Amino acid sequence: MLHFAHKEGTSTRINRYESDVQKLVGCFDSGLMTNPFFEDVDQLLPTDIPECLVKSTTAGRVQMKQIIRKL
């Protein structure tokens, strides 16, 4: 008798999912992200992170130009 398991139920996938959950919990515990499962959460990211993300493209281009000039 053959027994087939769905690929989502293999031990490899289960271990991967557990690792992914632990990484998310680590983000919440470190303060990098606010836990979205708390009822009193107004935003998922601290207020300064979205601003940094918006400015990151400009900052990256400035750094790239500085590196190119040194070459």
Global pTM exceeds 0.75: no
**pLDDT at residue number 44:** 63
1 lies in some domain: no
**pLDDT at residue number 42:** 65
Count the domains in the chain. 1
**pLDDT at residue number 17:** 93
24 lies in some domain: yes
Q: What is the full per-residue pLDDT of the chain (71 aa) written as tens digits?
A: 566 778 888 888 999 999 999 998 888 788 777 766 766 656 666 677 778 888 888 889 999 999 999 88
CA distances to 19, 50, 56, 63, 65 from 60, rounded to whole Å, are 31, 16, 6, 5, 9
Q: Which domain holds residue 33?
A: 7-70
45 lies in some domain: yes
**pLDDT at residue number 2:** 61
DSSP H or E segment with residue 16? helix 11-30
